[in-house]
Amino acid sequence: MKIKITKSEKLSEKPDSSTLGFGKIFTDHMFLMDWNIDTGWHDARIVPFGPIVLHPAATVLHYGSEIFEGLKAYRRADGKVQLFRPIENVRRMNRSAERLCLPQIPEEDAMQALTTFVGFEQDWTPSAEGTSLYIRPFMFGNDETLGVHAVHNATFAIIASPVGSYYKEGINPVKIMIEDEDVRAVRGGTGYTKCGGNYAASNRAGERAEKMGYSQVLWLDGVERKYIEEVGAMNVMFKIGDEIVTPKLTGSILPGITRMSCIEVLKKEGYTVSERLLSVDELGEALKNGTLKEAWGCGTAAVVSPIGELCYKGEKFIINNGEIGKVTQHLYDTLTGIQWGKLEDTYGWTMPL
Ligand SMILES: *Cc1c(COP(=O)(O)O)cnc(C)c1O
């Protein structure tokens, strides 16, 4: 695939690491590529970062044909920049695209787009502890008609944003509310895809939880409202006795790459890991009888986020004294160690640019 590069005439000053938040500052360029049902993907290009002009009838604005990915580039101590399991993001994006009737991107083209773009912008990867370059590939339907059908035109883009450390003041356990009213996804729906609509439908519960002092919600399954699914933008794991339990991928849960990596690390180290159904009643029982030892969320942004408090139907439960547990800390140290190149990558997960 040929990628045309148009360099921006005015390059921005790199921000100070201490001022980085999440997704507020963007690099000088973006990657774009267009698709048409007859001509396929064409016009792969890196251009100056700026607004994308859309027809007012563009599919994405009316029918929500949109998917995205999220991954990071990490700066190692030796100055090199590396990605973490990027092929998994490419594969997941194609699975999301299939569900939303958006076009597939051949894996090698998507990888080329990713590595060329991030390589081009790699100076934007900050080096302060815990900081990284967040990469956001996304794709949307771009037909200029209000007719409802699978898209005939689409755009694929990649933007990147230097982001600060998720844990500026040390790893603080979060408070989570179990949501028993709204549901995020149902089997047969789009729960397993990273599509914008899932987030749009999640916001109301998130706002309600925030007003009550909780940082995120823990979703239950959409049919019986009985089984634990995931947290906001993170998958979830529990240590019950000596068993590490994480909800199995039933179709309504997003298959996180951090989740998969945690499972692989834990299994390799001899932990008992079960991907299974976990009912809120079983969790409540484990909370009450003290067998719930640790709980944590896992996702690219936070890596691993300990859960210190759970609220269900107004009842509050403190987990592990509101402190980070041993397994949670170990997973955090292992994954961040590999990502930032401080630990040897015996899994072959990292990809230096
Ligand atoms: C992205 C995402 C996750 C985490 O996936 P990672 O690949 O680990 O970053 C979990 N849940 C939802 C709903 C997500 O969108």
pTM confidence score = 0.96
Measured from the CA of 184, which atom of ligand 1 is nearest?
13
Q: Report d(CA 299, CA 255) in Å as an integer.
A: 10
3-state secondary structure of 165: coil
Distance from the alpha carbon of residue 206 to the mean position of ligand 1, in angstroms: 16
- Domains in the chain and their CATH numbers? 4-163 (3.30.470.10), 174-339 (3.20.10.10)
Nearest-CA residue for ligand 1 atom 12 is 233
CB 64 within 8 A of CB 102: no
Which of 226, 221, 209, 238 lies closest to 311, judged by CA? 209
39: left (phi over 0), alpha (psi -120 to 50) or beta: alpha
Distance from the alpha carbon of residue 255 to the mean position of ligand 1, in angstroms: 7
- DSSP state letter for 164: -
pLDDT tens-place string over residues 60-83:
999 999 999 999 999 999 999 999
pLDDT tens-place string over residues 211-258:
999 999 999 999 999 999 999 889 999 999 999 999 999 999 999 999
Provide CB contacts within 8 A for 348, sequence distance 6+: none
Residue 169 has pLDDT above 90, yes or no: no
Is the CB of 300 within 6 Å of ligand 1?
yes
Q: What's the count of helices (H) and strands (E) in the chain, helices before strands?
A: 7, 18
Q: Report d(CA 72, CA 89) in Å as an integer.
A: 11
Q: Are strands 272-276 and 243-247 parallel, antiparallel or unpaired?
A: parallel
182, two tokens: 């709204």
Is the CB of 185 within 6 Å of ligand 1?
no
Q: Look up tokens 């998720």; give the residue.
A: 166
Measured from the CA of 260, which atom of ligand 1 is nearest?
8
pLDDT tens-place string over residues 323-335:
999 999 999 999 9
Mean of pLDDT values over 120-143:
97
Distance from the alpha carbon of residue 104 to the mean position of ligand 1, in angstroms: 20
Share of the chain above pLDDT 90, in %: 93
Nearest-CA residue for ligand 1 atom 14 is 233
Q: Report d(CA 229, CA 254) in Å as an integer.
A: 9
Residue 170 has pLDDT above 80, yes or no: no
3-state secondary structure of 19: helix
Q: Which amino acid is at 187?
A: R
What is the average pLDDT value for the chain, to the nearest integer?
Answer: 95
pLDDT tens-place string over residues 83-108:
999 999 999 999 999 999 999 999 99
Q: Report d(CA 105, CA 33) in Å as an integer.
A: 10
Residue 168 has pLDDT above 80, yes or no: no
